[in-house]
């Protein structure tokens, strides 16, 4: 047994053998703070500290955090992510919590976990410039690779991040640290491509929809419909046409009225609209199946998590669809 496999067993010796599986036939109210399928939480948090270590000593960090917080409160996302200073402030303050929650959710969904740990998987992350999804994916991928024998050929993973804000610098820092500290034995197998553009205006061929195995839109769908409802409808309709059979689509948004949208003079939960587009009006005749869901799910950080800034608990709903 390799040293990495021994370290894995030592870290998870006290964990239960059975991972929680979130299913549509059993509504789940919470996902675990840690998973045996991810790296330890403090390894993820340390990655952010290593990537932006100079920021934590900056006297301007708190000022930028408060500025971004105000922009987010006003839902002015273009302003909140309008320059590298704001983007880095967001990344060190809010992304760590997101990455831990995303990793736990991805790991709890067996279908999603299987894609992440499969050979040559293709994953499209919509609105993923802040790197929460990237770190979560990297954590599960690295943990899976650590259990393989040293002479086994490493699985490759291909991740495309698409975001309307230019997160190029931040993505570069995170990827560099992941390859240096996590995937150092096979860095070329961990492939990340960042595309700065509006997903609602990009051609399906540029997104590679026909070859994507997993699409995630984490706390992004509501923003897309707020930006342009007609284009958002066309985008989700394009998934019906372009995605191959078996492709997974995972959507999360804040639980409650925050994720309601107006249609005419009425407000509806956004998941009802997405269900209609993907599943059909009768919830059966559409191009996708809804395989797992939760209307209200909590992720709560553990007291053992070690990070110099506040970590946020999260309450959200999710939908996991599979193309027929």
* pLDDT tens-digit map of 178-233: 999 999 989 999 999 999 999 999 999 999 999 999 999 999 999 999 889 999 99
Mean pLDDT, all residues of the chain: 89
Measured CA to CA, the distance from residue 206 to residue 283 in angstroms comes to 30
| CA-based torsion, 35, 251, 293, 317: positive or negative | positive
Nearest-angstrom CA–CA distance, 63 and 76: 17
For residues 119-127, give the mean pLDDT. 97
pLDDT value of position 257: 57
Q: Side-chain half-sphere of 66: how many Cα atoms within 13 Å?
A: 5
Residue 13 predicted with pLDDT over 70 = no
CA–CA dist 170, 168 (Å, integer): 6
Say which range, 9-13, 76-80, 283-287, 315-319, has the weakest mean pLDDT: 9-13
**Contact present, 147 and 8 (Cβ < 8 Å):** yes
d(CA 93, CA 105): 20
Asked: is 3-8+28-323 a CATH 3.40.50.150 domain? The reply is yes
Return d(Cα 37, Cα 108) in angstroms, integer: 9
Residues 82-97 as b or e (16 or more Cβ within 10 Å = b): eeebbbbbbbbbbbbb
Compare 8 and 244 and report the one with higher pLDDT.
244
Would you say residue 3 has pLDDT above 50? no
219-262: per-residue pLDDT in tens? 999 999 988 999 999 999 999 999 999 999 999 999 875 567 77
């Amino acid at each position: 047994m390799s040293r990495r496999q021994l370290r894995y067993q030592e870290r998870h010796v006290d964990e239960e053998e059975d991972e929680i599986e979130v299913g549509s036939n059993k509504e789940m109210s919470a996902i675990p703070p840690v998973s045996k399928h991810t790296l330890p939480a403090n390894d993820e948090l340390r990655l952010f500290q290593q990537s932006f270590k100079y920021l934590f000593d900056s006297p301007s960090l708190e000022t930028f955090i408060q500025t971004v917080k105000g922009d987010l409160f006003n839902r002015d996302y273009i302003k909140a992510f309008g320059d590298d200073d704001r983007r880095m402030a967001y990344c060190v303050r809010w992304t760590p919590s997101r990455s831990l929650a995303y990793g736990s959710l991805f790991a709890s969904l067996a279908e999603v976990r299987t894609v992440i740990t499969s050979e040559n998987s293709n994953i499209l992350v919509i609105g993923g410039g802040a790197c929460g999804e990237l770190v979560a994916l990297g954590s599960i991928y690295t943990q899976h690779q650590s259990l393989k024998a040293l002479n086994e050929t490493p699985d490759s993973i291909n991740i495309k991040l698409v975001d309307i804000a230019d997160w190029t610098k931040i993505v570069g820092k995170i990827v560099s640290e992941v390859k240096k500290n996590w995937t150092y034995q096979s860095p070329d197998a961990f492939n990340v491509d960042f595309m700065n553009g509006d997903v609602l205006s990009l051609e399906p061929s540029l997104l590679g929809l026909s070859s994507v195995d997993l699409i995630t839109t984490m706390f992004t769908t509501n923003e897309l419909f707020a930006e342009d409802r007609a284009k958002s409808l066309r985008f989700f309709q394009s998934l019906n046409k372009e995605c191959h059979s078996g492709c997974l689509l995972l959507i999360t948004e804040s639980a409650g009225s925050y994720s309601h949208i107006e249609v005419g003079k009425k407000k509806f939960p956004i998941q009802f609209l997405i269900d209609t587009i993907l599943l059909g009006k009768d919830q059966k005749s559409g191009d996708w199946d809804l395989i797992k869901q939760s209307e209200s799910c909590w992720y709560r950080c553990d007291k053992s998590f070690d990070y110099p800034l506040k970590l946020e608990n999260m309450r959200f709903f999710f939908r996991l669809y599979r193309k027929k």
